[in-house]
Structures are given as structure tokens and as C-alpha cells.
A and B are shown apart, each in its own frame.
Chain A
Amino acid sequence: MFESLTDKLDGIFRKLKGRGSLDEENIQSALKEIRMALLEADVNFRVVRDFIEDIRKRAVGQEVFDSITPGQQVVKIVHDRLTELMGGVSSRLKFGSRFPAPIMLVGLQGCGKTTTAVKLARLVAAQGKRVYLVSADVYRPAAMEQLKVLGGKIGAGIFAAAGLQDPIEICVQAVEEARRNGYEVIVVDTAGRLAIDAQMMDELKRIKAQINPSEILFVADAMTGQDAVNVAGRFDEQLGIDGVIMTKMDGDARGGAALSLKAVIGKPIKFVGVGEKIEALEVFHPERMASRILGMGDVLTLVEKARATVDEKEARDLEKKIRKNEFTLDDFRNQLTQIRKMGSLQDILGMIPGMKKIKALKEMTPDEGELVKVTAIIDSMTAKERRNHLIIDGSRRKRIARGSGTQIQDVNRLLKNYTEMRKMMKRMTKGGIKSLRRGNFFF
């Protein structure tokens, strides 16, 4: 189940390595695997069909190189094509020359519009623009309240629709209010309902007609299944979508909907929502999305995350300590904290290609709870103990266990692991320390 597409394809192609070129017949079973991978990732059935046809044409006749396996070669063709299809267009927002420039968000219920509205407003504000927020959702209980609370956190202006019940009137007045107060951009959050709801579409059309948005962005949940094409098609037909924001990308859905949406609307995916925090909105990277859809892991994101969290200087200091065999329990704890800053361990390991195919991944993975425990244990030691673990005797161990709410066995295990790690480091310092720099952790 965790076998990657590349492995599968390599298996299929193993027999024909070095045998001239890919032909119709020998890529047949490879295409079948690719098709399954795409469908499993929730790419729409018809989109998959067209895509496979396209790949067949591209792959047939290509020479099989000796340097790489045919499996890798086909995956590369597929990956490149996916990247090309989903990308190629700048994800910059158009503001136009009007003040305020209205950006309207539309989408189904529960896709994350309100959170996205605030995240987007923060991003625009970070570009130095004054942003105003308005919610036209008069239906969902407390929708406006939600926008107000979140918007307050980023210091954006928020329209207070006191007493107003008509979403169109709310938008018109909000734009007027924003203009009067010199806001440059207004983000309009709309009510989410079903795409087949004619009344809702009509309401959105009327808002569009009244405020003439410089961008209408369709907010889509990355977990969406086959239905993504129907919904997006309907919204685009009725409103004319300028771009897409994919939400909930921090989950483990393969996100095939991204390809489906692109195929249906033909407009760029501009941003992706990657977490619950207001900062968690990133520019869309087509090549990463391609890897994700194919189940190939997301190495680039991992590298970037590591770069952002691991301080170069800290790493050098650590290196020095290790050389001198001064790696204390304090350092050990800092290392763990750094790992935790990067996100959950499962998230991180999932980004490493090949990790997914390890069946026993779960058992191998230091569990998050375990990390918390270890941190608690070290925190319960005295400074002296942390500097020199050798002084931690039986009664100290008992005290530490009590202080950290753990068992004495936990303390023993931690000390054992730590001692082993020191031993390992000692060996490594003899063999060269380069591998310890940057993002190479010991676990």
C-alpha cells in the first residue's frame, strides 16, 4: 500500500531495461498503474482519461536510457506533464487600479472560506496594503462573528453589518465604507452553500454585479473527491473564476482535485492553505503538487521547513560540542525541540520519498507523545544533572520520574538512549562530521 508509484513502475519495466524505446505495448501496464495512482488521488475520471492519453503519446517512442530505470523515466514524464498542467501562470493577485480592489471568495460550505479570507487579508497586508474585510454570510450562525474575531487578530478593518440582512446591501456598503476610509483592498467572504443551489448562485452573481471584483477566487478543499469538477464547473460557468485557493493541504489527502480544477476552470491555483494558523497560506508550487498527487513525497517542502527552523549558527555550535564530546542533555532537548518546531514527525517523515513504503513506519517513528515525555523528563532535571548525566543515580532518577510525571523506566530509557547517542557521535566525529549539519537529526 505504501509502495510508491516509482517502485511499481520499476517493477513493471524491469524486464525491458536497455531494450531500445518505449512502445505502445510495454507502457500499457505502466499507464494502468499511473491511472490507478491518479484515481486514488481523486483526480476526476475524465481528466485522468485525457491525461493518460496525453502521456501515452509523449512516452511512446522515447528511448529507454541505461542511466535511469524506465520506471523513473515514465514517472518523470508524468511528473513534468502534471507540473506543466497545474502551473505556468503567476499566482500574483490582480488588484486593478480601483480603490478599494475587491477580492471575492466563493466556494462550498466547510471548504474554509472564512479562515482563508483572513489569511489572504494578512498576506495582502504584508505587502503593505491597507485591507478591509467583510462577511456577506448572513446564513451560518456566527459566521460574521468568526470573521470579526480572526480579522481582529491581524488588525484589518472589518465591516460591521449592524442590522443589515441583505448580503448584496452588506457588500455594497462595505465597499463604500472601505473607500471612505482609504482601504486599498477589500476581501469579501461569501456564504457557502451547495453549487446546485440556484438561489445562492444568484446571490453571488448579484454581489459580483454590484461590486465588480478584481478577482473572484474559488476556495476548494484538497480532500474533495470526484465531485470537484461539477462544483468548480458550476461556479466558473456562473461567476467566472479567476483563480483557486486549495485549503487543508496540511492533511494527507493526495489532492488530485487540484488537477481536476485546473482542467475544468483553466485558471491558476494561486495559494494553498497549510495549517490552522493565520500565517498558514502559501504560494502554490505545481511541482510539489505533482509529487504529492503521485504519492512521491514532498522533499522540497521538507528542505524548506528544515531551513526555516534550523539555525545555521546553532548547528555549528552543536557541531563543536559534539566534536568535544560535550553534547549534554540540554543539547539533546534542544534538538528535540527543533524537530518539533518543524511539525509533527509523521508529517516530516511523510515528506521523505521512500518513507511511505516502510510498512512499520508507525513503530519506527518516535511518537510525538514520547517526545513530550522526554522533554518533560529533561526539564525535571537540575542544571547540574543536565550538564553531567553521570551523577544521576537511583534516587535522582526516582525524583526526576516523580517530577515529570513519568515512570522510572522512562527515565532509564532516556538516559540509555542519550548515552548511546553520545557513543554514536563519538564514532561519527572520527568519521567526519559533515553529515550532522543542517537538518540531519539523530533519530
Chain B
Amino acid sequence: MGQDNDNKGFFDRLKAGLAKTRKLLLTDVDDIILGSKEIDRALFEELEEALIVADVGPAFTGELIESLKEKVRRKELGSPEILRKVLRETMREILLKNEAPLKIPPDQIYTIMVVGVNGTGKTTTIGKLAHQLKGEGHEVMLVAADTFRAAAVEQLEAWAKRAEVPLIRQAPNADPAAVVYDALRSAKAGRPGVVIIDTAGRLHTKVNLMEELKKMRRIMGRELPGAPHEVLLVLDATTGQNAVVQARMFRDEIGVTGLILTKLDGTAKGGVVVRIARELNIPLRYIGVGEQVDDLRPFRAGEFVEALFAQNGR
């Protein structure tokens, strides 16, 4: 599956994956801007709607619109086309500051802990990531530290088989910290490679479950100095403004080092990620644009915004 995509460039595939988003959000923006001859109140109102509907958030949208209005007042912006460029550039700049693909140094044990609230697609994302890293020649090991959700281990196991990588697991309801401990022990005994740890989904408001993650972190750091090397927070693009709260809590409590935005292939726009980038400065690593293994792609601000703002029919 997914082979028929191989002859297309990454850019095309990204755009294909974001087609829905584009259609709903940014062609809206383009249609609005290109469709109107001059800059007037209605234009700003419609722009505001497009941004809010994309989950950019009301306060931030208000600021963006205000700054555009100010520029128009100062005659820095004369036409809808330039207005569009400026809006695009503003968003791109914010994202660009946080565009930071995951770089894994060779010949060492590199541990990645994957966290997030329930149902954002952690396990699936790990499956895809394992597959890709393996394809790039990394030794990969998966760790089933979601011992809470029924059958979570089985789900990860299916992915491990698909990617042909080993899986460290224990009995259901085992202490996740013990699973991690085990995994690091066995990683240290084997060849260096990437160790990806799946954790149970948890709402950021559950203090005891956040403590559990901290404990896992502590155990890892004790067993292997520097571990976890990467803590990836998986966010669901259909989530609204609460995604900012999630990102802030996981960053402050667990020390998130990177973000993955999943489910961008639906009708949701994931615009909240711009707010997160601006307010929280967490590196953006990957986006998930589909169900196939290669539908996990490095986050690229330019392409992301480009694909978002691309014109109709492309």
C-alpha cells in the first residue's frame, strides 16, 4: 500500500493529504481575498471567520486581523493580494521558528517517549515512526508502556510485526515504569538504536497520571543518562483550543521536546498549532496526514502554509 505515491514528490503528497484542509480553510481565505476587489470591512470579517473556523483561536485571530487593519491604515497594504501574502507570511514565520525535524544521532541508544491525551493516535503514530526509522536503517525497538488501556499492547504488537521490530512488553496492568526499566536494560545489552516508548493516553488534568509519567522519566534518566532524549506530544488536529492547554501542561510537567499533529487528513484544520508555536515554542516534528505508513511526514512550515494557502484546483 502507498506505493502508488512513490512517484509523486513529497510536496504533492503533502498537498494531497492537506487537500481537505486547504479546501475548507485556505481556499476560503484565498477566495475571500482574491474574490474581492478592495479591502473593506466585509473582507476582514470573512477573514476572521476563516481563521477561527480553522481553530486558530479567537484572541489570536483578533490580533492577526488587528495588525492587518493597522497596516492597511498606515497604507502599507494596498490590495487584497498583498494582504494575503502578509497573512501567510506572518503565519509561516511563527511556524518556521518551531520547524525542527527529529534528528537521531547514530550509534547510540536514542530513547523517544510518546505522550498525549486519550485517542490522539499515539500508538498508530509510533507504528508509522518505527516503520520509517527502520526503513532509514535504524535499529528500532518498541516498548509497550501503555499497560492501562485494554488491548493497547496487542495494538502495538501488530504494528511491531508490521514494521518487523522487536517489542518489549509485560503483563497487562504492570507498572509502566517497570516496563521502561526492562526495556532500557535490554536496549543497553543489545545494539544501539532507537527505543520508542508508547505510554497510556491521559488527560493532562489527572495529576496522578502525570506523576506516573514523571516517574517513568526519572527511571529512564537513572538507567541511561540523557534519557528520554525526546518526549513527543501527540496532538489531534480535531482538538480545539484545549490543545494549547494540553501542550502547556505536558511541556511544563513532563518536558515535551517535540510535537506531532495527527489526523490532518480530515476536515479539521489544526490551526491551533500556530497558536501553540507562538505561545509555547515547542519544536514541531511531524504531521499525520493519513492512515498509510508513509503518511507521517516531517513538519515543514513553508510547505504547511503553502499547502494551506494553495489556490483552488491544484
Interface residues in chain A, defined as those with a beta carbon under 8 Å from any beta carbon in chain B: 35-36, 39-42, 44-45, 108-112, 140-143, 145-150, 193-196, 221, 223-228, 230-231, 248, 250-254, 256-257, 276, 344-347, 367-369
A348 to chain B, nearest CB (A): 11
- Name the one of B53, B59, B205, B207 contacting A40, with C-beta atoms under 8 angstroms: B59
Interface residue? B101 (CB, 8 A): no
The answer to whether B151 touches A146 (Cβ under 8 A) is yes
Smallest Cβ-Cβ distance to B172: which chain A residue: A149
Knowing A109-B121, A146-B149, A196-B20, say if A45 contacts B52 (CB, 8 Å): yes
Mark out the residues of chain B between 237 and 291 whose CB falls within 8 Å of any chain A CB in the assembled complex.
Answer: 238-243, 245, 263, 265-269, 272, 291
Smallest Cβ-Cβ distance to A220: which chain B residue: B238
Mark out the residues of chain B between 144 and 170 whose CB falls within 8 Å of any chain A CB in the assembled complex.
Answer: 148-155, 157-159
Knowing A110-B120, A141-B158, say if A227 contacts B269 (CB, 8 Å): yes
Knowing A45-B53, A108-B266, A196-B20, say if A251 contacts B159 (CB, 8 Å): no
B135 to chain A, nearest CB (A): 20
* Chain A contacts for B58, CB-based, 8 A: 35-36, 39-40
> How many angstroms from the CA of A140 to the CA of B159 in the assembled complex?
10
The answer to whether B154 touches A194 (Cβ under 8 A) is no
The answer to whether A108 touches B238 (Cβ under 8 A) is yes
The answer to whether A223 touches B240 (Cβ under 8 A) is yes
> How many angstroms from the CA of A223 to the CA of B240 in the assembled complex?
6
Smallest Cβ-Cβ distance to B201: which chain A residue: A110
B30-59 near A? 1/0 per residue, CB < 8 Å:
000000000000000000010011110111
Smallest Cβ-Cβ distance to B267: which chain A residue: A230
- Name the one of B150, B157, B204, B263 contacting A146, with C-beta atoms under 8 angstroms: B150
* Chain A contacts for B239, CB-based, 8 A: 221, 223-225
A114 to chain B, nearest CB (A): 8
Smallest Cβ-Cβ distance to B249: which chain A residue: A252
The answer to whether B151 touches A253 (Cβ under 8 A) is no
Interface residue? B117 (CB, 8 A): yes
- Name the one of B24, B151, B158, B204 contacting A251, with C-beta atoms under 8 angstroms: B204
The answer to whether B117 touches A248 (Cβ under 8 A) is yes
* Chain A contacts for B263, CB-based, 8 A: 108-110, 194
The answer to whether A251 touches B117 (Cβ under 8 A) is yes
Knowing A39-B58, A226-B54, A251-B242, say if A368 contacts B236 (CB, 8 Å): no
Smallest Cβ-Cβ distance to A257: which chain B residue: B240
The answer to whether B118 touches A248 (Cβ under 8 A) is yes
Chain B interface residue count, CB cutoff 8 Å, equals 50
A138 to chain B, nearest CB (A): 12
The answer to whether A251 touches B203 (Cβ under 8 A) is yes
14 CB < 8 A contacts A-B: A40-B57, A42-B240, A45-B52, A110-B120, A146-B149, A194-B265, A224-B239, A226-B240, A248-B117, A251-B204, A253-B240, A254-B241, A256-B240, A368-B207
Interface residue? B211 (CB, 8 A): yes
Interface residue? B221 (CB, 8 A): no
> How many angstroms from the CA of A142 to the CA of B157 in the assembled complex?
9
The answer to whether B154 touches A344 (Cβ under 8 A) is no
> How many angstroms from the CA of A19 to the CA of B49 in the assembled complex?
35
The answer to whether A224 touches B151 (Cβ under 8 A) is no
Interface residue? B208 (CB, 8 A): yes
The answer to whether B118 touches A112 (Cβ under 8 A) is yes
> How many angstroms from the CA of A147 to the CA of B154 in the assembled complex?
12
Which of B148, B204, B266 gathers the greatest number of chain A CB atoms within 10 Å?
B266
Knowing A42-B240, A141-B158, A221-B238, say if A149 contacts B150 (CB, 8 Å): yes
The answer to whether B238 touches A225 (Cβ under 8 A) is yes
Interface residue? B206 (CB, 8 A): yes
The answer to whether A252 touches B150 (Cβ under 8 A) is no
- Name the one of B155, B206, B211, B238 contacting A142, with C-beta atoms under 8 angstroms: B155
The answer to whether A368 touches B208 (Cβ under 8 A) is yes
* Chain B contacts for A40, CB-based, 8 A: 57-59, 241
Mark out the residues of chain B between 284 and 308 whose CB falls within 8 Å of any chain A CB in the assembled complex.
Answer: 291
> How many angstroms from the CA of A230 to the CA of B53 in the assembled complex?
11
The answer to whether A143 touches B52 (Cβ under 8 A) is no
Smallest Cβ-Cβ distance to B207: which chain A residue: A368
- Name the one of B52, B148, B155, B240 contacting A140, with C-beta atoms under 8 angstroms: B155
The answer to whether B119 touches A227 (Cβ under 8 A) is no
- Name the one of A36, A112, A150, A253 contacting B119, with C-beta atoms under 8 angstroms: A112
Closest 4 CB pairs of A and B: A225-B240, A110-B119, A141-B158, A42-B240
> How many angstroms from the CA of A367 to the CA of B266 in the assembled complex?
39
A165 to chain B, nearest CB (A): 15
B148 to chain A, nearest CB (A): 7
Knowing A109-B263, A141-B154, say if A227 contacts B55 (CB, 8 Å): yes
The answer to whether B241 touches A42 (Cβ under 8 A) is yes
Which of A149, A221, A254 gathers the greatest number of chain B CB atoms within 10 Å?
A221
B81 to chain A, nearest CB (A): 25
> How many angstroms from the CA of A281 to the CA of B174 in the assembled complex?
26
> How many angstroms from the CA of A40 to the CA of B245 in the assembled complex?
12
The answer to whether B205 touches A347 (Cβ under 8 A) is yes
* Chain B contacts for A225, CB-based, 8 A: 55, 238-241, 243, 268, 272
Smallest Cβ-Cβ distance to A146: which chain B residue: B151
* Chain B contacts for A228, CB-based, 8 A: 238
* Chain A contacts for B211, CB-based, 8 A: 368-369
B116 to chain A, nearest CB (A): 10
The answer to whether B242 touches A227 (Cβ under 8 A) is no
The answer to whether B267 touches A276 (Cβ under 8 A) is no
Smallest Cβ-Cβ distance to A153: which chain B residue: B150
Smallest Cβ-Cβ distance to B50: which chain A residue: A45
Which of A150, A225, A346 gathers the greatest number of chain B CB atoms within 10 Å?
A225
Knowing A108-B266, A150-B150, A346-B207, say if A142 contacts B158 (CB, 8 Å): yes
The answer to whether A145 touches B150 (Cβ under 8 A) is yes
> How many angstroms from the CA of A20 to the CA of B117 in the assembled complex?
49
The answer to whether B208 touches A143 (Cβ under 8 A) is no
Smallest Cβ-Cβ distance to B211: which chain A residue: A369
* Chain B contacts for A147, CB-based, 8 A: 150
B158 to chain A, nearest CB (A): 3
Known: A225-B55, A231-B238, A344-B207. 10 other contacts (CB 8 A): A36-B58, A41-B241, A146-B151, A147-B150, A195-B266, A248-B119, A251-B242, A344-B205, A345-B207, A347-B205
Smallest Cβ-Cβ distance to B24: which chain A residue: A230
The answer to whether A142 touches B242 (Cβ under 8 A) is no
A160 to chain B, nearest CB (A): 15
The answer to whether A142 touches B152 (Cβ under 8 A) is yes
The answer to whether A142 touches B272 (Cβ under 8 A) is no
Smallest Cβ-Cβ distance to B265: which chain A residue: A194
* Chain A contacts for B157, CB-based, 8 A: 141-142
Smallest Cβ-Cβ distance to A151: which chain B residue: B150
